[in-house]
Amino acid sequence: MGAPWTMARPMDLSFLAQLGIGKTNSGAFDGTWRKTKGEQLVVRSPIDGSEIGRVQMATAQDYAAASKAAHATFLRWRELPGPKRGEFVRQIGVAFRANKDLLGRLISLEAGKILQEGLGEAQECVDIADFATGLSRQLYGLTIASERQDHSMRETWHPLGTCGIITAFNFPMAVWAWNAMLALTCGDSCLWKPSLKTPLSSIAMTKLAAAVLGKQWAPLVALVIGPDADVGSAMLDDPLVPLVSATGSTRMGRIVGPRVAQRFGRSLLELGGNNAIAVMADADLDLAVRATVFGAVGTAGQRCTTTRRLLVHEQVIDDLQARLVKAFAQCKIGNPLDQKTLVGPLIDEASAKGFDHAVATAAAQGGKVVVGGKRASVKGCKGGAYVQPTIVRCPSMLPIVREETFAPILYMLPIRSLDEAIAVNNDVPQGLSSSIFTADVRAAERFLAATGSDCGIANVNIGTSGAEIGGAFGGEKETGGGRESGSDSWKVYMRRQTSTVNWGTSLPLAQGIQFGD
Active-site residue set: 270, 304
Tell me how far, at minimum, the Cβ of 235 lies from ligand NAD, in Å: 7
- Under rule CB under 6 A, residue 467 binds ligand NAD: no
Judged by CB under 6 A, the chain residues 271 through 310 that form the site for ligand NAD are 271-273, 304
- Under rule CB under 6 A, residue 433 binds ligand NAD: no
Biggest CA-to-CA distance, the chain: 89
What are the C-alpha distances in Å from 391 to residues 14, 43, 141, 388, 400? 39, 32, 49, 10, 14
Q: Which of 270, 338, 403, 478 forms a contact with ligand NAD (CB under 6 A)?
A: 270
Please tell me the distance from the alpha carbon of residue 185 to that of residue 282, in angstroms, as a whole number: 46
Q: Which of 432, 444, 458, 492 forms a contact with ligand NAD (CB under 6 A)?
A: 432
Reduced to 3 states (helix: H, G, I; strand: E, B; else coil), residue 510 is helix
Nearer to ligand NAD, 381 or 432 (CB): 432
Site string for ligand NAD, 386-405 (x = CB under 6 A): ------------------x-
- Under rule CB under 6 A, residue 249 binds ligand NAD: yes
Peptide bond into 399 cis (omega under 30): no
Nearer to ligand NAD, 228 or 284 (CB): 228
- Under rule CB under 6 A, residue 41 binds ligand NAD: no
Judged by CB under 6 A, the chain residues 360 through 389 that form the site for ligand NAD are none
Contact 304, 270 (CB under 8 A): yes
Tell me how far, at minimum, the Cβ of 125 lies from ligand NAD, in Å: 15
Nearer to ligand NAD, 308 or 313 (CB): 308
Nearer to ligand NAD, 443 or 469 (CB): 469
Nearer to ligand NAD, 96 or 171 (CB): 171
Q: Which of 29, 131, 294, 406 forms a contact with ligand NAD (CB under 6 A)?
A: 406
Tell me how far, at minimum, the Cβ of 514 lies from ligand NAD, in Å: 53
Please tell me the distance from the alpha carbon of residue 22 to that of residue 204, in angstroms, as a whole number: 10
E strand or H helix that includes residue 471? none
Tell me how far, at minimum, the Cβ of 265 lies from ligand NAD, in Å: 13
Segment near ligand NAD (CB under 6 A); pick from 26-34, 130-138, 269-277, 354-362: 269-277
Q: Which of 401, 418, 390 is nearest to 313 (CA)?
A: 418
- Under rule CB under 6 A, residue 469 binds ligand NAD: no
Residue with the CB atom nearest ligand NAD in the bound state: 248
Please tell me the distance from the alpha carbon of residue 23 to that of residue 352, in angstroms, as a whole number: 28
Q: Which of 226, 258, 193 is nearest to 60 (CA)?
A: 226
- Under rule CB under 6 A, residue 170 binds ligand NAD: yes
Tell me how far, at minimum, the Cβ of 397 lies from ligand NAD, in Å: 19
Q: Which of 135, 160, 166, 359 forms a contact with ligand NAD (CB under 6 A)?
A: 166
Reduced to 3 states (helix: H, G, I; strand: E, B; else coil), residue 148 is coil
Contact 477, 464 (CB under 8 A): no
Reduced to 3 states (helix: H, G, I; strand: E, B; else coil), residue 84 is helix
Q: Which of 171, 386, 437, 493 forms a contact with ligand NAD (CB under 6 A)?
A: 171
E strand or H helix that includes residue 355? helix 349-364
Q: Which of 91, 183, 174 is nearest to 130 (CA)?
A: 91
Please tell me the distance from the alpha carbon of residue 118 to that of residue 381, in angstroms, as a whole number: 19
Nearer to ligand NAD, 31 or 232 (CB): 232
Tell me how far, at minimum, the Cβ of 192 lies from ligand NAD, in Å: 9
Q: Which of 39, 228, 284, 440 forms a contact with ligand NAD (CB under 6 A)?
A: 228
Q: What is the DSSP string of 252-313?
A: HHHHHHHHHHHTT-EEEEE----EEEEE-TTS-HHHHHHHHHHHHHGGGG-STT-EEEEEEE
Contact 275, 377 (CB under 8 A): no
What are the C-alpha distances in Å from 320 to residues 290, 367, 407? 11, 17, 21
- Bridge pairing between strands 307-313 and 494-502: unpaired
Please tell me the distance from the alpha carbon of residue 286 to that of residue 183, in angstroms, as a whole number: 41
- Under rule CB under 6 A, residue 248 binds ligand NAD: yes
What single DSSP character describes residue 314?
Answer: T
- How many CB atoms are closer than 10 A to CB 137? 12
Segment near ligand NAD (CB under 6 A); pick from 77-85, 88-96, 246-254, 464-472: 246-254
Contact 492, 147 (CB under 8 A): no
Q: How many residues does the chain have?
A: 517
Q: Which of 21, 41, 132, 168 forms a contact with ligand NAD (CB under 6 A)?
A: 168
Tell me how far, at minimum, the Cβ of 30 lies from ligand NAD, in Å: 19
- Under rule CB under 6 A, residue 128 binds ligand NAD: no
Q: Which of 36, 247, 307, 485 forms a contact with ligand NAD (CB under 6 A)?
A: 247
Tell me how far, at minimum, the Cβ of 139 lies from ligand NAD, in Å: 24
- Kindly state the number of chain residues that form the binding site for ligand NAD, as judged by CB under 6 A: 29
Q: Which of 169, 294, 447, 490 forms a contact with ligand NAD (CB under 6 A)?
A: 169
Segment near ligand NAD (CB under 6 A); pick from 183-191, 268-276, 392-400, 509-517: 268-276
Residues contributing to the site for ligand NAD (CB under 6 A): 166-171, 193-196, 228, 232-233, 236, 247-249, 252, 255-256, 270-273, 304, 404, 406, 432, 479
